[in-house]
Structure 1
Amino acid sequence: MVVNAIPLFSRKRGAKLGLQVLVGLAVFLLANPAPAGVWRFAVIGDTRGDNTNTPSAPWVNTDVLAAQATAITNDQAELVLVTGDLIYGVASSNDTNLATQYAVWTNALAPVYAAGIPVYPVRGNHETYGDDTTGTAYLAAFSNSLPVNGPTDELGLTYSFTHKNAFFAALDQYRNAHQVNQDWLTNQLALNTKPHVFTFGHEPAVQMYHSDILAQNPAARDAFLNSLHAAGSRLYFCGHDHFYNHAIVSTTNGGTIRQVVVGSGGAPFYDWDGAYGADFGETNMAVKVRHIGFTNGYCLVTVSNLVVTLEWKGSANLTTWQTFDTYQYSLTNRSMQRVNDYDGDSKADPAIYEEAAGNWTVLFSSLNYTSGLQPVLGSTGWRPAPGDYDGDGKTDPAVMSKTGTWWIMLSGSAHTIAATNLSVTNAGPVCADYDGDGLTDPAYYRKASRTWGVLLSDSSYQAVTVTWGASNFIPLVADFDGDGKADPSLYDESSGEWRTLLSGSGYLDVSATFGGPGYEAVPADFDNDARTDLCIYNKTNGLWQALLSASGYAAASGAWGSAAYKPVPGDYDGDGRADPMVHAATLTNWMVMLSGSGYQGAEMFFGGTNDAAVKPLWREDLVFLAFGDSITYGGGSSNDGPATGYPKLLEDKLKQYFDGYFLSINRGNPGEDTYDGFERFVETLDTTDPDLILLMEGTNDHFYGNPFDEIEENLRNMVSTALARGIPVIIATIPPVISNNYRDRSEQAARIAAFNPRIYSIASDFNIRVAPVYEAITAVPGWESSLMDQPSANHPNDAGYAVVRDAFYAPVTTGLNSGEY
C-alpha cells in the first residue's frame, strides 16, 4: 500500500563528524593476518614462433615461453590463462604436425606443469591453421585437462571454471568466427556465485592492429561487453596483437570494462599507431591506459579477497622481470552491503522470527512479497544470525544458541543445515564479513568479558578472539572505512559514544559522539558509497538522524516511526542505499521510505504479535522467571492475575526499550510462604530453565508470624540453589502492606519493615542485586491510597505494579548491559 511521500533526510549543510583517535593501533585480526585470502594467476598469450623467419623456434618461441614459465612459477601463480596463438600451426603440407607443435609448447611450459599449476588455454587463429573448426588436434592436446561444460558444439573449446572466489570463462571465437557463444555465457554469468568474474579469449573487442576481431560483429560484440559489465566483471584478457595494451572500453549499457591485450609472449612484435577502432569508426570507444611494445611480458593478477591488482611484467633479457603497468580495483562486498537479501535480487526482504517455536517467514521481493521461505530453525535461547555464509549472493537463515552452537541453512546447497560450535556461553551473534572474502563469518560478542570471536572463512575458519569493549556498550556490525571488511564497533546509548576498530587503518581505535539516551544505533549505508553511515533512531518519536559519509558527514534527519516501532534498515528497493524501515510487532505493521522513489512511504501488514523482525542489529535475549506469592501472580491488579502483574509489565517494557526476545514466566503462587516456595523451587527450575530469576516472597510469612530466621533461611536456600545452577538472581525487598477500613495489617507492616534489611544482607552475601520494591512504593507521596489495592490491603494496584516493574527494571537492565544473562 503506497502512502503519501514524506521528505526524509533533508540535508543539513555544514554538520561534520570528527573521528577522534583514542589509543592508536589496536590489534584485532592483525594477530592473524589473512594470507589465505591472497592468490595469484598469470595471463600469457601469442607464444608462437614465426615459421621460417625463426628457424631455431619456428612453431613456438620456446626461449620466451620457458622464461615466462619460470617467472610465473616463482610468482607462485595458482593458474595460468593463455589467450591463444600458442603455436604457429600448419601452413603447408611440409610443416611439422600439430601434435608435435603442442608437445613443444607444453615442454617449454614444463616448470608450470611440474609445479602442479593448471593451465587454461583458448584457441587463437593460428590454432585453426591446418585444423578443422572443431579443433580436433587442439582437443587431442588439451581436452583431458580442461573442463567440458561448454556449449554442445564447443566442448573443450569454450568452458568455465571457478577458483576460490573467482569465476573464469574461456571463450572460443573460431567455432563461430569473431564472436562468443553469448547464450551460453549469459547463462553462466547468471549462475555464477563468485564475486570476481574474469573472461578471456583471443580477439580484442576494439581494434588496434588487426581488424579480424570481435568488432566484425558489432552487435554481438556489444552484447558481449554489456553482459560482462552487468555481471560486475572488470577485466577482459585477449591477445592477437603482439604487444601489451591496457584500455578502458565503453559499453553501450553505460559502463566500462578494461580490455587487456597480452600478446607479448614471443610472437613477432607489431607496431601500433595509437588509434582505436580505426577501421570500424570506433575511435572514441576506447581510451588508452598503457601501451608497451617490443617487449616480452605477461600479466600477473593478485586477488586479495575483494581487491584485484593487475601487473604487466616485462623483461629485456628474459631473466629480470619488471612491472611496467599496474591497475587495482576493489569490489563492493555484497555480504556487507546486501543485508537480508534471501532471494539474491539485491533487495532486502522482510523477515520475521518467532523465537519460541523457531519459525521463520521471509517475503521474497522477487516474488512480489509473497512467502518464499518458511524454515523452522531455532527455539527459545537461539538468536537469529543471518548472513551469506556460502557466497552465493543470498542471505542464509542462521541461528546461534547461548551455548555457542550455530545452525546455518546454506541457500547454495538447497538450504541444508551446517552446524558449528564456538565454545562460548552468554554471547550473541555479530556475524559479518571480517576478512573481506565475500563470505559472512560466524562471529560472536560476549558482553560480560568484552570478547569478540570470529571464525575467518578465508583462513579455513580459523578462530580469532580479542578482548575489546567497555561497560554499557553494545556491538555493531559496520564497515565505516569501506574496505569491504567489517569493522568491530560499539555504541553506548547512555553517552552516545561510538567506537570502532578501522580494519583499513590497521584496526585503529577511533571514537565519535552521536546519539545518547533514548537513541538506538542503526548504522547502514544510506548514501551508497560502500561505507556505513552513523545513524540513530529515537525510540520514542521515531526520529532518524544520520551522518552521511559521502557528503563529509553532513547531517540528515527525518521522522519515520513511533514508540511502537523498531528500526529495520535495509536496501528494500535495490538502489544501493539503505531505506528507513520500521516494524511494530504489536500492530503487525511494516512501514518503509524508499530512497529510490524520493523517500516515498509504503506499508504492509505481515507477521504476528510474537514475531520479531530479523535485522543486522544486536539483539538481547532474556527469559526470566518471576517467583513468589500472589503479588508476583498479579493479585489486586485490574485483571487480578498475570496479564496485569509486574512480570508481564516488565516484559513489555524490556521489549519497548531493547531489541530482542523477552519472555516472562510467572510462577506466583497466591497464599504461599517462603517454606512452601522453597518446596516447589527446584521443580520450577527444572521445568522452566530461565536465564534469570526475580525472587520476591515473604509477605505471607509475616502475616502468619513465621520466625525471621526461618524466612531468611528459606530465601537463602532458594538463592543458593539457583546460583548453583548458574542462574543469576535478583531479590526484592518485600512490598509494604497497609491498614484501612477493610484490614488491620499494622503488625504485618511492622514485621516487613523490620525484616527488609535482611534482604540486603542476603544480597551482599551472595553478591546479587536488589530490586528495592518496598522503598520504591513508599517513596511515592500518598502511596497508601494511590498505589495499593484497598480491599486486600496487601497488594499493589495497577499503578503500584508499574512501580514494582520499574524497581525490577533497573537491576535487570544493569545485568543486560553488562552481559550477565
Structure 2
Amino acid sequence: MKLSLLSLVAGLALSTSIHAAPKDPVVASFATVGDSRAEPSDKLNAQDKIWLQNTKAWSRILREIQAQKPHALFFNGDMIMGYTTNKAELNRQYAYWRGMVTGLQESGTYVVPVPGNHEVQEKFKDEGKTKKIARQGNEDTWRENMGDLIVDSARWQTAVGSNLSAFDAKNAPQIGGDDKISTDQSQLSYSFDFAGSHYVVINTDPVGNDAHAPVAWLKADLAQAKARGAQRLFVFGHRPAYTYFFKPGIDLEGLDKDPEHAKAFWQVIEDANATYFCGHEHIYNAMQPAKTQGGKAWQVMVGSGGSPFSADPGDSNNPHDRTYAWAHVKVHASGKVEVDTYGFDDQYGPTKLLKHIEM
C-alpha cells in the first residue's frame, strides 16, 4: 500500500513537471550591440592605446552576454578604430577584437559580424576638409579578417547545437542596379535562417555610395525569406535609418542624410514587419520611426559597446544616454519576440534592465 502511494505521488509529481513546461518556449535567442572601439584622443591605459579598444566596458559586456547564453551575438560594426587603408594596422586591431570574442564563440554563442563605417572607410583631409569614404581595399581586409565567421554552418552547429539554413555566399547585392553597388559585397551584406526566423546583415557604407543601404536587395531577400515561411525577420546594419536626437541641433548620423532613401529603406522594414538593429551613434535608443503614421516596426540602436558616448554629461536628462548597453532578444515558438535591453552606467555601476519590448 505504501509503495502504491509513493508511486502515485511520484507519478503526480512527474505529471506536474511535464505540464509545467513552457507553453511558448524560446526557440532562438541572440544578443546585439555595436561600437566598442576607442578614440586615439581618449584617456586610455597603455594597453588600449595600442589596440584602440575600450577593453573594460567591452569585456564586461561580453561576460554578461556569455552568462545569458544566447545562440548568437550580432555585433553591429565599429569593432575597430580603422579609418585607415594601412592593412597592417587594420589587421592588428581586428586581431585584438577577435581575441576578445573567442571565449564567447567557444562557449555556445556564435559571433556574427556586421561591417561599420570605421571598418570600410578611410578618413583623410582634402583641401582642408575631413572626408570619410569607403574603400575597396578595406572591404577586402574585412573579408580577410571576418570571412571565416560569415557564415560557417558547421561551426554554427558545433557552437549552437542546431543548424542554420539558407545561407548563400552569392546572395549579396550585385554590382550595378538600383542599389548603386560598385564592388563585391559578398560577406558584407548576407543573410540566413535559423529556428524559423530570418537574419539579414547589411553594409550601410558600400564603396561609392556611403551612408546608403541596399534597399532593393533587402526587399527581395526578405520576400524570399517570407516565401520560405520565416515567422520573424531581423535586419542588422551599422548606421541607423533615423538619427536619435538626444539633444537639439545634432548632425544627421543615419540613412536620413538622404531623406528619400531613409524613407524607402524604412518602408521595406515596415512592409516586412521586420525589426532593425543598428549602432553608429554611441548611445542606446529604441524608437518606432513611423508610429505616428501607423507604423509598428522598431529601430533598436545599441551603439553602446564601449565607444565614447555621443551624449556628453549634461547633454540629456535621460540616464540611459550614457549607458553601456546591449539587447538580448528571445524568439518564442509562437513568433512572439521579447527584446530586453540591459546596461550599466558610465561609472560601471550595477547592470540594470533598461527596457522591455514585446513584438
TM range (shorter): 0.7 to 0.9
CA change 1:251–1:320 in 2 (3 A) is closer
Q: Where does residue 95 of structure 2 map in the other structure?
A: 103
- The amino acid that maps onto 1:66 is S
Q: Where does residue 117 of structure 2 map in the other structure?
A: 125
Matched position secondary structure for 1:73: helix
Q: How does 1:577-616 map to 2 (within 5 A)?
A: none
Q: Are 2:289 and 1:297 aligned?
A: no
What is the CA distance between 1:262 and its match in structure 2?
0.4
Matched position secondary structure for 1:97: helix
Q: Check conservation: 1:244, 1:291, Cα contact below 8 A.
A: no
- The amino acid that maps onto 1:99 is N
Q: Are 2:355 and 1:325 aligned?
A: yes
Q: Check conservation: 1:222, 1:251, Cα contact below 8 A.
A: no
TM-score where L is the length of structure 2: 0.73
The number of residues matched between the two structures is 288
Q: Where does residue 559 of structure 1 map in the other structure?
A: none
What is the CA distance between 1:74 and its match in structure 2?
0.6
CA change 1:54–1:35 in 2 (3 A) is farther
What is the CA distance between 1:124 and its match in structure 2?
1.5
What is the CA distance between 1:141 and its match in structure 2?
0.7
What is the CA distance between 1:159 and its match in structure 2?
0.6
Q: Check conservation: 1:65, 1:109, Cα contact below 8 A.
A: no
TM-score where L is the length of structure 1: 0.33
Q: State the alpha-carbon separation in 1 of the partners of residues 30 and 231 from structure 2.
A: 16
Q: Are 2:249 and 1:220 aligned?
A: no
Q: Where does residue 313 of structure 1 map in the other structure?
A: 342
Q: Where does residue 140 of structure 1 map in the other structure?
A: 144
Q: Where does residue 248 of structure 1 map in the other structure?
A: 288
Q: State the alpha-carbon separation in 2 of the partners of residues 168 and 179 from structure 1.
A: 19
Q: Are 2:107 and 1:115 aligned?
A: yes
Q: How does 1:221-300 map to 2 (within 5 A)?
A: 221-233=262-274, 235-250=275-290, 254-271=294-311, 292-300=320-328
Unpaired runs of 5+ residues, structure 2, are: 1-14, 123-133, 152-168, 175-183, 245-249
Q: State the alpha-carbon separation in 2 of the partners of residues 90 and 231 from structure 1.
A: 34
What is the CA distance between 1:307 and its match in structure 2?
1.5
What is the CA distance between 1:319 and its match in structure 2?
8.0
- What are the Cα deviations for residues 332-365 of structure 1, in whole angstroms up to 9, with x where unaligned? xxxxxxxxxxxxxxxxxxxxxxxxxxxxxxxxxx
Matched position secondary structure for 1:257: coil
Q: Check conservation: 2:240, 2:253, Cα contact below 8 A.
A: no
What is the CA distance between 1:55 and its match in structure 2?
3.5
- The amino acid that maps onto 2:218 is L
Q: Where does residue 42 of structure 2 map in the other structure?
A: 53
Of Structure 1 and Structure 2, the greater strand share is in: 1
Q: Are 2:71 and 1:78 aligned?
A: yes
Q: How does 1:625-664 map to 2 (within 5 A)?
A: none
What is the CA distance between 1:99 and its match in structure 2?
0.8
Q: State the alpha-carbon separation in 1 of the partners of residues 85 and 193 from structure 2.
A: 39
Pick the structure with greater CA Rg: 1
Matched position secondary structure for 1:190: helix
Matched position secondary structure for 1:256: coil
Q: How does 1:475-494 map to 2 (within 5 A)?
A: none
Q: State the alpha-carbon separation in 2 of the partners of residues 227 and 47 from structure 1.
A: 29
Q: State the alpha-carbon separation in 1 of the partners of residues 343 and 114 from structure 2.
A: 22
What is the CA distance between 1:133 and its match in structure 2?
3.7
Q: Check conservation: 2:235, 2:277, Cα contact below 8 A.
A: yes
- What are the Cα deviations for residues 490-509 of structure 1, in whole angstroms up to 9, with x where unaligned? xxxxxxxxxxxxxxxxxxxx
Aligned equivalent of 2:216, options 153, 174, 183: 183
What is the CA distance between 1:37 and its match in structure 2?
3.6
Q: How does 1:27-42 map to 2 (within 5 A)?
A: 30=19, 32-33=21-22, 37-42=26-31
Q: Where does residue 173 of structure 2 map in the other structure?
A: 151
Q: State the alpha-carbon separation in 2 of the partners of residues 178 and 40 from structure 1.
A: 29
What is the CA distance between 1:35 and its match in structure 2?
7.4
Q: State the alpha-carbon separation in 2 of the partners of residues 304 and 226 from structure 1.
A: 25
- What are the Cα deviations for residues 529-572 of structure 1, in whole angstroms up to 9, with x where unaligned? xxxxxxxxxxxxxxxxxxxxxxxxxxxxxxxxxxxxxxxxxxxx
Q: State the alpha-carbon separation in 1 of the partners of residues 261 and 57 from structure 2.
A: 34
Q: How does 1:780-819 map to 2 (within 5 A)?
A: none
Q: State the alpha-carbon separation in 2 of the partners of residues 267 and 164 from structure 1.
A: 32
Q: State the alpha-carbon separation in 2 of the partners of residues 34 and 140 from structure 1.
A: 44
What is the CA distance between 1:84 and its match in structure 2?
1.1
Unpaired runs of 5+ residues, structure 1, are: 1-25, 275-289, 330-821
Of Structure 1 and Structure 2, the greater helix share is in: 2
CA change 1:78–1:34 in 2 (3 A) is farther
CA change 1:63–1:110 in 2 (3 A) is farther
Query: Could you say what the CA RMSD is over the residues aligned between the two structures, in angstroms?
Result: 2.8
Q: State the alpha-carbon separation in 2 of the partners of residues 245 and 162 from structure 1.
A: 26
Q: State the alpha-carbon separation in 1 of the partners of residues 223 and 107 from structure 2.
A: 33
What is the CA distance between 1:312 and its match in structure 2?
1.2
Q: State the alpha-carbon separation in 2 of the partners of residues 156 and 150 from structure 1.
A: 8
What is the CA distance between 1:100 and its match in structure 2?
0.9
